[in-house]
Amino acid sequence: MATILVVTTENIPGKNYEVLGEVFGLTTQSKNVFRNIGAGFKNIVGGEIKDYTKMLEESRQIAIERLRNNAAALGADAVVMMRFDSGSIGQDMQSVAAYGTAVKYVTSNQI
């Protein structure tokens, strides 16, 4: 599979395309209980909780990869207007969604 271009913009310079539809990439992650205890201590003294930051970075990468797979299944060349959404599930789980619009490139005389 060729890499699917993912952009946050509405337009891709120099490309004409047709819209195929919306695509999503979802993941829910959790840290283990020992990491949660460490995060609890960090909560008392303040500062960045690096394990959770790393978990969110990993979650975003997984969500983007699943978004690309969803777009590829539709025959897309790219995803435009990509956005993230995230939220907590309980106290120790985080859900991340990447979503956007799958598009297929067309030549200018096909429009």
The structural domains of the chain, ordered by start, are 5-110 (3.30.110.70)
Task: Identify any residues that bridge with 22 across adjacent strands, giving them in sequence order.
Answer: 101
Instruction: Decide which of 2 and 54 is more confident.
Output: 54
pLDDT of 77-98, one tens digit each? Answer: 999 999 999 988 877 788 999 9
Rounded-to-integer distance, Cα 30 and Cα 107, Å? 45
pLDDT tens sequence across 32-50: 655 555 555 555 667 777 8
What residue has token string 């995803």? Answer: 79
Q: How many CB atoms are located within 10 Å of the residue 50 CB?
A: 11
